[in-house]
Structure 1
């Protein structure tokens, strides 16, 4: 390693997961070409990495906020490109970072661009999911299994129920950093294939638990969801009182897969799947988007969720390159239906070239991985650069939406790291 070359991460080598970091290199020769690399190991032990080639300026410095990558995992001026472009060398791997207590550790390094790429400098970025003072409480009460995150301070704070397809703490604790009390629960606590019906009562129980928390000040709760969690969120808004604001991300407008029960009665039939419409790609991953049957067909209308009877305000979010299902089509149908019924409490946003897995920003973009509910690799879609930009924009929009539409007795304060 060269004692002259310095790799700096500003404003700090430790930051929150959803915060940008400025990567700077100094002490190089004027106009020297180097390779900057990033690597990280996820919770499953899978390594992800990226690299980009940069040319120093006349002072021997590189600033990723200013200077373009000349080649590698991405090209152009992309300040956080080394993070979102990280990939595993193994096909169909998604970076697993779902547990709040462990930071996402990324190692940056600078290497000579010639020969064997001698190491010139390195630095470690600790990207924390939980800010100072945020509390984490595992919850196992009645039919609820989840994790509760509470911001520091006395509150009162607005409350958000995070319904995730498979258990993850990432989005919930990052929202808690922003001044929300968040309970995250999975769509099901049972193994896929071991149950044949879904009960809305369990999610109502989670909502009621959340509202009872002493620091919660909002009269109703917000619900955030993606994928299969999306139709659960819509059903909560349509059938369960006390849901005030819903963020629906790349979901369905109908009850997908299993019959939905509430108070011991079936309220929605399942929208079914046609395996013959699945497309197998050369990589071995499947495009399942076209396998979902048409929810507007006569045979499927019993699965359509009656969101027109909801009092909640909606934020509908669709990625236009979602290969998991027709999120944009479902969004358009819901917007038209609400307009037809004279409902105006909704807004929508669409992201061209973004894929299904819209998450909090600065994580590695995933194009394909094993689907946690159906067990084989699927294509998620999305052009990495556009997808990464969509995540940055959406994350701010989610926070603004909930702060605007979850009425609370006091203004929520952000947790400071």
Structure 2
């Protein structure tokens, strides 16, 4: 299983000689190495009782952009600042949030509402976050948290055969065989769900992150993508993971493909999860005079997507403040067609209602506002991601 560690980093900077305050801060994180979707407890002791301490986080993404977060909290009577119980009254987030220093980081010189932290590919290593606490005297203590995309023993393989463009992440051999998962994104194109697939494999699910346009050998845009392409991916993943049906996860425009594939290939699919869904087939993107999808060589007609033939669990996650389209309305209409379609609605979240928690993300992209706030989208991810894992574990 994933090895956990305890990191305790003692005083790194001595108290200035002129200070009358005697502080000896110690920062403790309950796990120095964790999966990226796991919580980390952060606690600072040895501070002045009732004083203000500033705790900062910092990391650098693959684009060499520095991201920083800040919490300003008051110590308790014992001189302790525990971020799971102490509210932040300033900095990059407000209130009690033990993971606030991670998801609320903002890009240096950039707009947090349009910025998205760009981690390195999962197989290239963890996201390292440095935490530093500065007490009333100026004394500091720090720790480093390594947030792993790949759990111990998880392997990666690039798939560029049979016309597929995908990445497969496989749990270590010898463990319980869990439901395999095919996951893909929306109108952003390319392989946008690598990190989700890596985390799914770290939780025991063989997972394939699939590109279906805007990648070498694939259509440049969302234009006449064959549903048979997804079926080929399902068969490939099933063959690599011991056979059996696969759960499909689709985001935004990818929700259309996920539902259509589940409907047209029920023998290959068991369970569908859709984030910020559409319950209808839209035109291609960015051209509105071309079909997005084809089936057996014919365009898939625009209009409501039938879901009566999909087997297994059904889950839709939507934000009530989605400004791209009415994803909540779509989720509710899906439930009208299938009463067993579970829906999770987060009233103040936007289009970026998922997936992984604790990752800094904006609320706008490409000049479009997607609704919600960073804090409300984060809340939806914190609550929604475990529900997805629970559904997969039960299938």
Aligning the two structures, in what range does the TM-score lie when normalised by the shorter sequence?
0.7 to 0.9
By relative contact order (CA 8 Å, sep 6+), the higher-ranking structure is 1
> What CA distance in whole angstroms lies between the structure 1 residues aligned with 2:200 and 2:391?
12
Query: Which position in structure 2 is the counterpart of 1:296?
Result: none
> What CA distance in whole angstroms lies between the structure 2 residues aligned with 1:368 and 1:47?
20
Deviation at 1:396, TM superposition (A): 1.0
Deviation at 1:112, TM superposition (A): 4.6
Three-state SS of the structure 1 residue aligned to 2:106 is coil
Give the aligned CA root-mean-square deviation in angstroms: 2.1
**Residues 385, 152 of structure 1: CA spacing in aligned structure 2 closer, same or farther, 3 A cutoff?**
same
Cα displacement string for residues 32-81 of structure 1 (whole angstroms, at most 9, x for unaligned residues): 21211112222222222111211122322211112111222222221111
Query: Which position in structure 1 is the counterpart of 2:294?
Result: 261
The 8 Å contact of residues 68 and 76 in structure 1, kept in 2 or not, is answered as yes
Three-state SS of the structure 2 residue aligned to 1:133 is coil
> What CA distance in whole angstroms lies between the structure 1 residues aligned with 2:367 and 2:126?
27
The 8 Å contact of residues 316 and 331 in structure 2, kept in 1 or not, is answered as yes
> What CA distance in whole angstroms lies between the structure 2 residues aligned with 1:93 and 1:394?
22
Say whether 1:145 aligns with 2:165: yes
| Structure 1: runs of 5 or more not aligned | 270-301, 339-343, 370-375, 406-417
Say whether 1:399 aligns with 2:389: yes
| Structure 2: runs of 5 or more not aligned | 1-11, 15-23, 285-290
- The normalised TM-score by structure 1 is 0.80
Cα displacement string for residues 363-406 of structure 1 (whole angstroms, at most 9, x for unaligned residues): 1142223xxxxxx222222233332222121111101112223x
Deviation at 1:195, TM superposition (A): 6.2
Query: Which position in structure 1 is the counterpart of 2:179?
Result: 158
The 8 Å contact of residues 213 and 221 in structure 2, kept in 1 or not, is answered as no
Match of 2:356 among 349, 353, 360: 360
**Residues 190, 149 of structure 1: CA spacing in aligned structure 2 closer, same or farther, 3 A cutoff?**
closer
Query: Which position in structure 2 is the counterpart of 1:60?
Result: 79
Q: How many residues align?
A: 355
**Residues 70, 113 of structure 1: CA spacing in aligned structure 2 closer, same or farther, 3 A cutoff?**
farther
Say whether 1:251 aligns with 2:277: yes
Superposition pairs for residues 337-348 of structure 1, below 5 Å?
337-338=337-338, 344-348=339-343
The 8 Å contact of residues 147 and 169 in structure 1, kept in 2 or not, is answered as yes
Deviation at 1:98, TM superposition (A): 5.9
Match of 2:116 among 94, 100, 105: 94
Superposition pairs for residues 103-142 of structure 1, below 5 Å?
103-112=126-135, 118=138, 120-142=140-162
**Residues 385, 194 of structure 1: CA spacing in aligned structure 2 closer, same or farther, 3 A cutoff?**
closer
